[in-house]
Amino acid sequence: MNQPQFQCNQRDQLLEQLDRQLLRSRGSGERVALLVFNLRGFREINMTCGHAAGDTVLRLVAERIRSALRPCDGLFHIGNDEFAVVLTTLKSPQVVSLAAQKILHSIDTDYELPAEVVAASAVAGGAVFPDHAGDRDGLLRSADTALHLAREQEQDFLIYDASLVSREQQLANLKRSLSKALDNNDLMLHYQPQIDLQRGQLSGCEALVRWNHAEQGWIRPDVFIPVAEKSELIDTLTYWSINVALREWLEFCVQCRDGAIAVNLSARLLQSTEIVDLVSRALNIWGADPGALILEVTESAMMSDPETALRVLTRLHEMGVTLSIDDFGTGYSSLAYLQKLPVSELKIDRSFVQHMADRPQDRKIVRSIIDLAHNLDMRVVAEGIEDQRSLDMLVSMGCDYGQGFYIARPMPAGQLSDWLHQAPWRKPAA
């Protein structure tokens, strides 16, 4: 078995070993698997504990990997924080996943250094010869691709799969055309009216982004928002949607004092205070009262980095913007954390509202959220109202606001006036 040398790269030895094993495999028909491992957080260990400590961790990791291997398998240190393992005499490709999980499990532990204890873990990609590639270089490429995809998808291990690659390519294409669509102004907003349930009048609208792709037709926001969220595109998209929403809402509702426009804010934007400047700039450009803007954030968005989220939300609140928790009831925010947030609105997730007329359990949840919101001095919005019975129940439960297909589907700004003219709801006070 190979003894990792942390000063030198063992890539050449890996290539020789693969040449040897693939030749044997061509004769015997037995499979060969290549696994590539990337240590997580190794740069931080090097930076905070020094390079000597980093080398020690590499040596200890190599020992742990070796302890999980059979004598016939090979281990190679092929780069800074990268290891490769060659598994030979495999009867079926299924055992590769098990081997990878065993190795990952052995790496995932605390490492005792002279001065401190550090934790390390790894992410891995694997490919099998001849199932995923017909030669050595193809096998290396496939394992690297699997590692890249595992990292992208935040998984511990992925084995090469051609369909995963084509999905990844589709997403990359989608990202490119979304970027172009933003440049060319090909996106638009649709507006879903929100009703003050107790007063029977329009209280505002939620702005929902729409994309009519030249070749693929309408693409749902659930499909392209997650793509945008993986890059800085989401910043551009959010800045665009806040500006367009303010402009179109102010145009539609020239002197509405009570009305407000709600815009969705992605999780990623709560991880930096940059959004505060973006919002302030947009309010200035359109001369909008901060009270006319509601920003909707989901519970999960806040939980990934609660401290930064709290800082960002506090600054937006101080600016006078209303903050709303979207999809409430589907996340796991603790009531203690909720109480600390400068949030004035809860939006009950539509999964509880849609069928509440027929499901007593859903009704109980809706009633509890309404009471919780009011006890915390927050107002409450029900989304996903699809029938008159649910609407009536919400009114009698004291729910403040509502939106849903029964009231109106999201529509372009130009249709709002006609809709309001025909609908039984009054315009907000001027």
What is the C-alpha to C-alpha distance for residues 241 and 221, in angstroms, rounded to an integer? 13
Where do the DSSP E strands lie in 130-180? 157-159
Q: Which two tokens stand for residue 406?
A: 């029964």
Closer residue to Ca ion in complex, CB, 299/327: 327
User: Virtual CA dihedral for 275, 278, 282, 285, nearest 10 degrees?
Assistant: 160
What is the C-alpha to C-alpha distance for residues 314 and 316, in angstroms, rounded to an integer? 5
* Residue 209 interacts with which of Ca ion, ligand C2E, none, CB < 5 to 8 Å by class: ligand C2E
Phi, psi of 378, rounded to the nearest 5 degrees: -110, 160
Phi, psi of 417, rounded to the nearest 5 degrees: -60, -50
- Is residue 268 involved in binding ligand C2E (CB under 6 A)? no
Closer residue to ligand C2E in complex, CB, 4/404: 404
- Is residue 266 involved in binding ligand C2E (CB under 6 A)? yes
- Is residue 73 involved in binding Ca ion (CB under 5 A)? no
Which are the contacts of 368, defined by CB distance < 8 A and separation ≥ 6? none
Closer residue to ligand C2E in complex, CB, 46/238: 238
Q: Name the residue type at position 148.
A: H
Stretch that binds ligand C2E, among 119-127, 176-184, 329-337, 402-410 (CB under 6 A): 402-410
Which are the contacts of 45, defined by CB distance < 8 A and separation ≥ 6? 53, 54, 57, 118, 120
How many of the chain's residues bind ligand C2E (CB under 6 A)?
22
- Is residue 410 involved in binding ligand C2E (CB under 6 A)? yes
Which of 123, 209, 282, 321: binder of ligand C2E (CB under 6 A)? 209
In the beta sheet, which residues pair with residue 82?
38, 79
Where do the DSSP E strands lie in 250-303? 260-264, 293-298
What is the biggest distance separating any 2 CA atoms in the chain, rounded to whole angstroms?
Answer: 85
Closer residue to Ca ion in complex, CB, 121/344: 344
Q: Which two tokens stand for residue 85?
A: 């393992």
Closer residue to Ca ion in complex, CB, 296/299: 296
- Is residue 248 involved in binding Ca ion (CB under 5 A)? no
Sequential DSSP letters for 9-22: --HHHHHHHHHHHH
Count the alpha carbons within 13 Å of 172 in the hemisphere toward its beta carbon: 8
- Is residue 204 involved in binding ligand C2E (CB under 6 A)? no
Stretch that binds Ca ion, among 138-146, 296-304, 361-369, 410-418 (CB under 5 A): 296-304
Q: How far is the CB of 182 from ligand C2E (least distance, A)?
A: 12
- Is residue 81 involved in binding Ca ion (CB under 5 A)? no
- Is residue 264 involved in binding Ca ion (CB under 5 A)? yes
- Is residue 241 involved in binding ligand C2E (CB under 6 A)? yes
Which of 215, 222, 307, 377: binder of ligand C2E (CB under 6 A)? 222
Cβ(313)–Cβ(270) below 8 Å: yes
- Is residue 345 involved in binding Ca ion (CB under 5 A)? no
The single-letter DSSP state of residue 425 is P
Q: How far is the CB of 144 from ligand C2E (least distance, A)?
A: 32
Closer residue to ligand C2E in complex, CB, 57/228: 228
Which of 185, 220, 421, 422: binder of ligand C2E (CB under 6 A)? 220
Interface with ligand C2E in residues 281-340 (CB under 6 A): 326-327
Closer residue to ligand C2E in complex, CB, 280/300: 300
Cβ(64)–Cβ(54) below 8 Å: no
Q: Which two tokens stand for residue 319?
A: 């600016």
In three-state secondary structure terms, 110 is: strand
- Is residue 296 involved in binding Ca ion (CB under 5 A)? yes
* Residue 56 interacts with which of Ca ion, ligand C2E, none, CB < 5 to 8 Å by class: none
- Is residue 398 involved in binding ligand C2E (CB under 6 A)? no
Closer residue to ligand C2E in complex, CB, 85/234: 234
Which are the contacts of 356, defined by CB distance < 8 A and separation ≥ 6? 362, 363, 366, 390, 393, 394
Which of 41, 130, 221, 398: binder of ligand C2E (CB under 6 A)? 221
195 sits in which H/E element: strand 187-196
Q: How far is the CB of 349 from Ca ion (least distance, A)?
A: 6
Closer residue to ligand C2E in complex, CB, 18/244: 244
- Is residue 56 involved in binding ligand C2E (CB under 6 A)? no
How many of the chain's residues bind Ca ion (CB under 5 A)?
4
Closer residue to Ca ion in complex, CB, 73/326: 326
Cβ(75)–Cβ(69) below 8 Å: yes
In three-state secondary structure terms, 208 is: strand
Q: Which two tokens stand for residue 5?
A: 């040398």
Residues forming contacts to Ca ion in the complex (CB under 5 A) are: 264, 296, 326-327
Residues forming contacts to ligand C2E in the complex (CB under 6 A) are: 192, 208-209, 220-222, 225, 241, 264, 266, 326-327, 350, 354, 383-386, 403-405, 410
